[in-house]
Amino acid sequence: MPQLRLALNQIDSCVGDIAGNAESIVHWTRHAAERGAHLVAFPEMVLTGYPVEDLALRSSFVEASRSALAELAGRLAAEGFGELPVIVGYLDRSEKAQPRYGQPAGAPRNAAAVLHRGGIALRFAKHHLPNYGVFDEFRYFVPGDTLPVIRVHGVDVALAICEDLWQDGGRVPATRAAGAGLLLSVNASPYERDKDDTRLELVRKRAQEAGCTLAYLAMTGGQDELVFDGDSIVVSVAGEVITRAPQFEEGCVLVDLELPAAGAVPSGVLDDGLEIEHVTLSTEPVARYEPEVAGGYAERLTDDEEVYTALVTGLRAYVTKNGFRSVLIGLSGGIDSALVAAIACDALGPANVYGVAMPSRYSSEHSIGDAEELARRTGLNLRTVPIAPMFDAYMAALGLTGLAEENLQSRLRGTTLMAISNQEGHIVLAPGNKSELAVGYSTLYGDSVGAYGPIKDVYKTTVFRLARWRNASAAAKGGTPPIPENSISKPPSAELRPGQVDTDSLPDYDVLDRVLELYVDRDQGRDAIIAAGFDPELVTRILKLTDTAEYKRRQYPPGTKISAKGFGKDRRLPITSRWRETGRAEN
Ligand SMILES: Nc1ncnc2c1ncn2[C@@H]1O[C@H](COP(=O)(O)OP(=O)(O)OC[C@H]2O[C@@H]([n+]3cccc(C(=O)O)c3)[C@H](O)[C@@H]2O)[C@@H](O)[C@H]1O
Ligand SMILES: Nc1ncnc2c1ncn2[C@@H]1O[C@H](COP(=O)(O)OP(=O)(O)OP(=O)(O)O)[C@@H](O)[C@H]1O
Ligand SMILES: NC(=O)CC[C@H](N)C(=O)O
């Protein structure tokens, strides 16, 4: 049987940085060539970054992607890798009209190409377009209608793009019909908790359906709210894991595969009307050195470590890809801002994390003490800016009372953070968690100001778990736990009036979060939530708070998605709506 040494480049790419992404493709192709690869693959839309959203509708961007692809093919040959077939995801346009989708020729396509000998040996487009959750691919793309098969080193390799694996029909059964020896799927699959298990099951099932070995190449890094967690997988036709790459780490997975030799050239029209497009690539060896590694199995992270690492990855990607180096956080001594600070220190290094303690007359003794302790433990930069003088000036001018007076403190902190951001160039992090965002427990233009919300998709009960996990992980490695024990153990409080605690206004977080998970994450209605065993009055209250906070969530900064239903593109609700689960809104 012929050996195929496959190089799966599990790498990060930056949306819009076509030149930088091309450079990275050359770098990793060199790496693969030096290790004797026969076939090199890169993730979905690696050349443009993913997702490009409405950039796909701009023909200047589509043309830039196409011409960069052609240049890249020439460049790879000029660098001495012309013999090595390289699969590169990019943004293309269709050559022909697609009347079935009401699209003229020239409509954008989510495509990939096989670069070989200085040219483009084959182009193909994603067949199944995801159009749920964070995806809107029907808005942008027309689907591909071929089954691309390349013959490399005597093996027929069928090619697919991400969603092609997730939907029944299409390229998976077509791969079996074409008798391919390997199905290679290039992906950009956003992180969600536990999705690694779902992907593994999916890949196993599809290998069996395709009747061949399946290689699943993942992307790493982050893009706005999305994190790409790596975890490329190769499974045999029997579903055994041959190789599994590390989560969240960029790198090249090299794997030697024993695959059946290709027979007669497959042709014809298969399931879903897919026409086989077969290209035989005759190649000369390009290896310069003896290979060092092949395959391997990276252990999975524990659930808490996985979520925490996703949060670190998402924040780091947002800050660095937007050209910043440092962040600013209001440090109250509470658990939310402490966890955000710990994530920021891990993402950017403590020297790039700036904290501001902003005591008011309602701040407790320990709020400053806990913030100082956090700074001591992590090494972040801390300063203190008392807000009492500003508060007194506003109060003298406006004579506020009640909630208006309480919220003024929060807004003065927000203004102070934005002023320091403008002056010193750090971007502000908003420390709100998913429980607070759900019920609107934050002040507009106050504690909700900021550029990025690292924990906006993390329920408060998970905030506690992650803080404990981070401390335990530091202790296990002989380091200093970053988060002061007191920030974890004291009752959560906004400290906007004397003796205030969160439970004055909200139910206990463990009950609140369980109700929210049903309502927000699973779209269940009031009756179904009550039937799950929750108190009807409490459910009514939580649902009402959630419904009427939509306007606040829309104004909240973006933040890392870790769930299947983050407050962003995953959950789109009207702001103006009289629908209530409890009956028509009174106002
Ligand atoms: N449908 C709608 N569309 C657009 N805007 C709408 C609106 N409904 C109200 N508004 C506007 O929103 C305003 C009310 O929102 P907002 O000003 O945020 O004030 P509000 O939501 O009334 O109060 C803030 C809440 O957050 C709590 N909290 C918890 C934790 C921390 C902090 C903190 O600040 O550190 C605060 C605080 O205890 C209080 O319960 C209204 O005055 C009105 O201007
Ligand atoms: N005294 C303070 N000094 C600096 N920042 C503050 C202070 N009080 C509140 N903040 C900022 O406002 C955010 C809202 O915090 P608050 O304490 O009111 O509620 P919280 O949701 O319990 O957050 P935390 O757990 O961080 O305290 C804090 O995370 C912090 O960024
Ligand atoms: N880029 C894609 O097609 C991603 C869709 C797919 N269901 C995933 O999340 O992995």
**How confident is residue 24, by pLDDT bands cut at 50, 70 and 90?**
very high
**Could you tell me the distance, in angstroms and rounded to a whole number, from the CA of residue 134 to the centre of ligand 3?**
9
Alpha carbon of 411 to ligand 1 centroid (Å): 11
Beta strands in 144-260 (DSSP E): 146-152, 155-161, 182-186, 213-217, 220-223, 226-229, 233-235, 241-244, 251-258
205 an active-site residue? no
Which of 417, 442, 552 for a ligand 1 pocket mutation test, highest count of atoms within 8 Å of Cβ?
A: 442
On whether the CB atoms of residues 42 and 28 are closer than 8 A, the answer is yes
Decide: helix, strand or coil at residue 572. Answer: coil
Provide mean pLDDT across the span 251-260.
93
Provide the pLDDT confidence category of residue 587 given band limits of 50, 70 and 90.
Answer: low
What is the whole-number distance in angstroms between the Cα of residue 189 and the centre of ligand 3? 5
ipTM of the complex: 0.89
Query: In the prediction, which pLDDT does 365 show?
Result: 76
> pLDDT grade, residue 363 (50/70/90)?
confident
Ligand 1 lined by 403 (C-beta under 6 Å): yes
Lowest mean pLDDT, pick from 200-204, 255-259, 283-287: 283-287
User: With contact defined as beta carbons under 8 Å apart, do 428 and 416 qualify?
Assistant: no
Q: 172 C-alpha to center of ligand 2: Å?
A: 51
- Average of pLDDT values for 477-506? 88
For the residues 423-429, what does the mean pLDDT come to? 98
CA of 527 to the centre of ligand 1 (A): 28
Q: Is 335 annotated as a binding residue?
A: yes
Q: Is 352 annotated as a binding residue?
A: no
**Residue 141 to residue 184: CA distance in whole angstroms:** 21
Position 417 scores a pLDDT of 98
The yes-or-no verdict on residue 329 having pLDDT over 60 is: yes
**Mean pLDDT value of segment 263-279:** 89
Predicted pLDDT at 502: 80
Rounded to whole angstroms, the Cα distance separating 113 from 97 reads 20
C-beta neighbour count of 376 within 10 angstroms = 12
- What is the number of other CB atoms lying within 10 angstroms of the CB of residue 383? 12
pLDDT over 70 (residue 312): yes
* 299 DSSP assignment: P
Catalytic residue among 14, 23, 34, 44: 44
C-alpha–C-alpha distance, residues 497 and 339, integer Å: 24
Confidence of residue 248 (pLDDT cuts 50, 70, 90): very high
Which bin fits 280, alpha (ψ -120 to 50), beta or left (φ > 0)?
beta
Q: Model confidence at 519, in pLDDT bands (50, 70, 90)?
A: very high
Q: What is the pLDDT of residue 97?
A: 80
Tell me, yes or no, if 162 is annotated catalytic. yes
**Residue 444 alpha carbon to ligand 1 centre in Å:** 5
Confidence tier at 291 by pLDDT (50, 70, 90): very low
126, 434, 456, 561: which is the annotated catalytic residue? 126
The annotation status of 169 as a binding-site residue, yes or no, is no
Residue 308 near residue 457, CB atoms below 8 Å: no
Report the DSSP beta bridge partners of residue 241: 235
Asked whether the predicted pLDDT for residue 525 surpasses 90, the reply is yes
Q: pLDDT value at position 289?
A: 44
Q: Distance from the CA of 445 to the center of ligand 1, in angstroms? A: 9
Cα of 412 vs centre of ligand 1, distance in Å, is: 14
pLDDT of amino acid 397: 98
pLDDT at 584 over 80: no
131 annotated among ligand-binding-site residues = no
pLDDT of 467 > 70? The answer is yes
Backbone angles phi, psi at 51, to 5 degrees: -90, 145
Q: In terms of pLDDT, which residue wins out, 4 or 500?
A: 4
Ranges assigned E (strand) in 73-127: 86-93, 108-116, 119-125
Determine the pLDDT at residue 368: 94
On whether 321 is known to bind a ligand per the annotation, the reply is: no
Atom 6 of ligand 3, residue of closest alpha carbon = 163
End-to-end C-alpha distance for the chain, whole angstroms: 73
Distance between CA atoms of residues 245 and 10, nearest Å: 8
Whether the predicted pLDDT of 292 surpasses 80: no
Instruction: Check pocket membership of 446 for ligand 1, CB cut-off 6 A.
Output: yes
Q: Is the pLDDT of residue 193 over 50?
A: yes
Q: Is 337 annotated as a binding residue?
A: yes
For residue range 382-408, what is the model confidence (pLDDT) as tens digits? 999 999 999 999 999 999 999 999 999
pLDDT at 104: 80
Is the C-beta atom of 506 inside 6 A of ligand 2? no
Average confidence (pLDDT) over 481-502 = 87
pLDDT tens digits, residue range 29-72?
Answer: 999 999 999 999 999 999 999 999 999 999 999 999 999 999 99
Domains of the chain: 3-280 (3.60.110.10), 303-504 (3.40.50.620)
Q: Is the pLDDT of residue 288 over 50?
A: no
Q: Are 144 and 124 in contact (CB under 8 A)?
A: yes
Give the number of the ligand closest to the Cα of residue 202. 3
pTM of the model: 0.95
Q: How many angstroms separate the CA atoms of 208 and 539, rounded?
A: 45
Q: Is the CB of 431 under 6 A from ligand 2?
A: yes
pLDDT at residue 95 in the model: 87
Residue of minimum CA distance from atom 40 in ligand 1: 441
Mean model confidence pLDDT for the chain:
94
Q: Is 329 annotated as a binding residue?
A: no
357 lines ligand 2 (CB under 6 A): yes
98 C-beta neighbours (distance < 10 Å), count: 15
Task: Provide, rounded to the nearest whole percent, the portion of the chain with pLDDT above 90.
Answer: 88
Contact 420 CB / ligand 2 (< 6 Å): no
Does 271 have pLDDT greater than 80? no
Q: Which residue has its alpha carbon closest to ligand 3 atom 7? A: 163
Question: How confident is the model over 364-368, as a mean pLDDT?
Answer: 83
Catalytic residue among 162, 212, 252, 345: 162
pLDDT on residue 3: 82
Of the ligands numbered here, which is closest to the C-alpha atom of 140?
Answer: 3
Ligand nearest to the CA of 556: 1
Question: Mean of the pLDDT values across residues 487-514?
Answer: 87
Q: Which ligand is nearest to the CA of 384?
A: 2
What pLDDT score does 290 carry?
A: 47
Read off the pLDDT of each residue in 463-483 and give the average, rounded to a whole number: 98
Return the ligand number nearest the Cα of 497.
1
Is 519 marked within a binding site?
A: no
Rounded percentage of the chain residues whose pLDDT exceeds 70: 97
AA letter at 271: D
- Residue 495 annotated as catalytic: no
Q: Write the residue with the smallest CA distance to atom 7 of ligand 2.
A: 332
